[in-house]
Structure 1
């Protein structure tokens, strides 16, 4: 792969190198807008012109490579081989720099690395802040000595955990993983280790996923490399582990000893058994509530918290209890010993299952006994989400009701009613009124109004049709039905023109949350502690969903009334971790509205999936936003 100006171009290049992809798919993979994708493709084409290739767009197929000079394009492959010994982009540079610091025996000078990798010392120095933060999570310290360079200090167990965390970010087939292993651990034969380990776990009836097996192989390789450098684990607080895990570790240690040419300390064997037990797939057939354990305590705490703070009672779901206990049993072992298992679905879970995610994050934040990493929280969310679906699936909705208004006589009314029911059998005609009677109504109880004459809109949507409606008019009525079945009334019930704002000037995240939380409190929508709770929730983990949409809210149901404050920021608000929010929904939920208001999550996800941010940014009034929101919701249902 050629050296490109910024990392995202590398992602697009690699993605299109072997398959054609539509614009929307590329935008989703890079977490950017389709407009930015088009800009990036143009930048790539300027570079690829020197290599006899261009990226073309074909309707129905998407973007694909058009190589018109194979000889020049082969230069890219030649450059790729030369670049394997050094990082190719900013992300790889961070990986290589951390691995160099973690695996070296001597001091490391940034000037030497800068020359070797053809980057400036300033670039490497800029990376050091983030690297120090990551190392601190493992209680590892970097010491800088004048004229000598950087040297890392810390427990051997922590060093291996940090190395494993870095490597587990990548799949076995990932180029970065392969290159890093070849560069830093050239003596390790992973295929041979995998064969030996697979034989042992099958023999001792240890069940591992393919990913778990890969992680164990990687750990064994890292351990072997560190032991060859005389870096040993000298002491491990051995927990109560199964006989199978201990026996497998003892036999596996013999394989490592043969490769090392020296016996392993008992602490190394003990830690090896922990690595096996922490990744083992186990079952929990029975729940013994008479024997209190930390695993059972956390399981019951999660279910109690969800019931107390979110009004969903999952405490009698025995299947959910078993599933949670099964995961938590090995999770606590991993957390205690800083054993990483990546969760590739974490961003997906956070974006598409925000209700279960929010419940779990809130519960774990108040647990306090262990710092649970995001990946582990994601797996807990999956169990809670399945429990919610199993126990609280939405009831079948009542048929939509329409108020038919016609002032043209009984025969016309009957004809129109017949046409509507024949074309839209799901529709119920609730009542027929004259124009005069309709205008005297204070409110409409039906879901929407169908009229043969233009009438004033009251509290429900209206649509005008001919006595013999056209296909287009029937499609418009069907649109109203679909919107009604999707709870579009939430936009009228929980959104308000008083709580809509377009930011004319740039603001920080803190300024936005403080200003609009105060507006809620001034109107007695929320109590005074609402703002502090919103800040606390944000400190646990970011509430940005993606696509420029953020949904800040409080921990718990603090509101006196359920309302959503819609904030549009053309300038963008820095939401942390490099994420920029352009559409912010600050929402407050009252406990009496909780069941109904939870559908707001579906609405926010609909905006995100529909790539609606650019359109919403064009809204200058509350009415424009309402129109865009309802159109987005309808199009979502239509796509189904």
Structure 2
């Protein structure tokens, strides 16, 4: 089964409702007619394996499973078949990856005509693909050299070529046996086993502890070094960091790992290669639990420069996002221990891939945004720009601190504001006390005219029977004088951390733009910002801040969805604006977008935005709902369906 059919099958398995051919076509970047042909081919394969694809008039395609056991057996072979089997790339993305892989493995001239023949495409098509190839390679500071009558080849520094190989030739999330492959490259299993076992054995001897990911990155580095040395491409001695680290313990361990590898695999590592292996080890030692517990002074646990950087990061996150994690001791230690080896990687331009990147961006959006702010601080202090792989690692530490903060929080404290007299306020007091005993702490009651003199420092929110228009700095929940079931549900939702209606609170119909026709993300963003009616919003700065955020980490999250937002708050109110497009547009070289949700958080916001991010996650996770939204032309129906999606 080719990649396109596997992609369709995965979408159908995950969807709870029928998917249209247009939606599937956009995912695979082909025409709806091609998708219809693909559906026929896929259905023929499924019919004899306990399932079928049913066409539902007016709705699209739905996967129907008749024999669960037979179908599951089919999946184990169809979706996860031998990855050595040669696949013909179908989409521009797949072709770009294929071309880069071929060039990296050959490291010699290849003719475009030969590459086009291999992929069954025209010369014009591959010439268009080459523009994207150059864009991808430029991320690694590599380029393409063209030689008449010979073809094309990759040129650039050796270490940059290796970083590119780690990205394009190693299967993401490689298996526990240590195999590294992608249909293009494979070291013998006994060699990969030996490399990994050698790394672990020497670390244990020296009582050095690395994370699983750090070990995997070191393993990949050595495996690629073996391949490159075998093909006559050692690291240039001019880039040698050896003199700075030759006397460290990490360098001695690297020498032992390299020595065993040389003896077993029959290759010779120049001293430069040993230095780069040592850089993977330098600073990665982790303090034991006993070390941390016996030393309560965080400043003495961390290097002074790292401690200063951690404090600056947490100050920036608290200033911009008010997550209340500024004094989380575990976060300070974990960030410090993570950043120490990271500084060495940045110093020598060693990129680290994060196999969890996409999952973190989708599931921990608030933590990822906080990590983006951390990245800005790191760039200011180190003058080195970190990529979204590293940002995602920082997001994991921040996300853990956010979860710890939730566990520490006791019952929320509220104040009741009532204008109907003592009898009504007491009735509300005891009604809520009975309903939410242990879940909410009622600080007391007050009349509206006394509210300005009431101390609100330890109050989390206000419950009021009359409208309160001024900004008190804390949330206000309006209810009826005689508490109804809906009022109780409203309060219960707030206590649980979920606003009663995210869409109603943050999305206006005036900020909804359906079935727009644009060809570039710059056009749609400029349009959306220009249509926002707000006296306090400086549109030029607003748009500039959006691009600053995009530069750090693109906001395309998959399933044709992008969530652009300013790097720093620019508005006086939190709001969202949505644009759906008639056709997908390129957002990055790897992702297309058809649903744009522009998010703006108000300056100095103390709102709990987690429910908003959870609602956004539902968009990404429910493609069947998303495709319906993108087909709608009526704003009221769109808003109604968004509210339905929010309640899922």
Both structures adopt the same fold (TM-score exceeding 0.5) = yes
Match of 1:396 in 2: 411
Deviation at 1:159, TM superposition (A): 2.1
Structure 2 residue corresponding to 1:23, chosen from 15, 18, 22: 15
Q: Give runs of aligned pairs for residues 89-108 of structure 1, distance below 5 A.
A: 93-104=95-106, 106-108=108-110
Instruction: Determine whether 1:296 maps to 2:311.
Output: no
Give yes or no for contact 1:527–1:558 (8 Å, CA) kept in 2: no
Change (3 A) 1:402 1:607: farther
Q: What does 1:40-55 correspond to in 2, within 5 Å?
A: 43-47=38-42, 49=44, 53=48
Q: Are the equivalent residues in 2 in contact too, given 1:138–1:162 (CA < 8 A)?
A: yes
Partner SS for 1:189: helix
Contact 1:257/1:264, CA 8 A, preserved across alignment: yes
Structure 2: how far apart are the matches of 1:36 and 1:55?
26
Contact 2:515 2:633 in 1 (8 A): no
- Residue aligning to 1:190: 192
Counterpart Cα distance in 2 of 1:82 and 1:166 = 14
Distance 2:122 2:179 in 1: 24
Alignment of 1:587-626 (within 5 A): 587-591=600-604, 593-596=605-608, 599-609=611-621, 612-614=625-627, 616-617=629-630, 624-626=637-639
Whether the aligned pair in 2 keeps the contact of 1:400 and 1:447 (CA below 8 Å) is: no
Aligned partner of residue 574 in structure 1, secondary structure: strand
Of stretches 183-192 and 294-303 in structure 1, the one that deviates more from structure 2 is 183-192
**Cα gap change, 1:180 to 1:119, in 2 (>3 Å):** farther
Q: Structure 1 residue 253 and structure 2 residue 277: aligned? A: no
- Higher-RCO chain (CA-CA 8 Å, sequence separation at least 6): 2
Q: Compute the displacement of 1:114 (Å).
A: 4.1
Question: Which residue does the alignment assign to 1:551?
Answer: 563
Aligned residues: CA RMSD: 5.2
Q: Does the 8 Å CA contact 1:537/1:554 hold for their aligned counterparts? A: yes
Point out 4+ residue stretches in structure 1 off by more than 6 angstroms: 32-42, 65-70, 80-83, 174-177, 289-292, 398-403, 420-428, 459-465
Kindly state the Cα deviation for residue 562 of structure 1 after the two structures are TM-superposed: 0.3
1:163: Cα distance to partner? 1.4
- Distance apart, 1:222 and its partner CA: 2.1
Alignment counterpart, residue 213 of structure 1, candidates 203, 212, 215 = 215
Of the three residues 359, 376, 381, the one matched with 1:348 is 359
**How big is the shift at 1:329?**
1.1
Which of residues 143, 148, 151 is equivalent to 1:149? 151
> How far apart, CA to CA, are the structure 1 residues paired with 2:176 and 2:96?
16
CA positional deviation for 1:357: 1.8
Q: Which residue is equivalent to 2:425?
A: none
SS in structure 2 at match of 1:231: coil
Instruction: Spell out, residue by residue over 1:315-342, the C-alpha distance to the aligned partner (whole angstroms, 9 max, x if none).
Output: 4332211100111112222233343433
Secondary structure in 1 matching 2:154: strand
Q: Is the 8 A contact 2:586 2:592 kept in 1?
A: yes
Provide the C-alpha distance between the structure 2 equivalents of 1:49 and 1:24, rounded to a whole number of angstroms: 22
Q: How many equivalent pairs are there?
A: 575
Counterpart CA distance in 1 for 2:142 and 2:155 is 6
Aligned pair 1:510/2:511, yes or no?
no
Q: Secondary structure at the match of 1:358?
A: helix
Question: Which runs of 5 or more structure 2 residues have no equivalent in the other structure?
Answer: 55-61, 421-427, 446-462, 468-476
Match of 1:342, SS state, is coil
CA distance in 2, matches of 1:389, 1:51: 43
CA separation of 1:194 and 1:534: change in aligned 2, threshold 3 A: closer
SS at match of 2:587: coil
Return 219-228 or 611-620, whichever deviates more.
611-620
Q: Distance in 1 between matches of 2:634 and 2:47?
A: 49
Aligned partners of 2:501 and 2:643 also within 8 Å: no
- How much has 1:382 moved relative to structure 2? 1.7
* 2:123 matches 1:131: no
- Go from structure 1 to structure 2 and tell me whether the alpha carbon gap of 1:44 and 1:281 turns closer, same or farther (over 3 Å shift): farther
Q: Find the residue that maps to 1:230 and give its secondary structure.
A: coil
Q: TM-score, normalised by structure 1?
A: 0.72
Structure 1 residues 623 and 399 mapped into 2: Cα distance closer, same or farther (>3 Å)?
farther
What does 1:343-422 correspond to in 2, within 5 Å?
A: 343-365=354-376, 367-368=379-380, 369-391=383-405, 396-397=411-412
Contact 2:573 2:601 in 1 (8 A): yes
Deviation at 1:36, TM superposition (A): 8.0
For 2:188 and 2:124, the matched residues in 1 are separated by 30
CA 1:26/1:120 → structure 2, altered by over 3 Å: closer, same or farther?
farther
2:448 match: none
Q: Which runs of 5+ in 1 are unaligned?
A: 406-416, 432-443, 449-458, 466-472
Query: Aligned equivalents of 1:274 and 1:166: distance in 2?
Result: 22
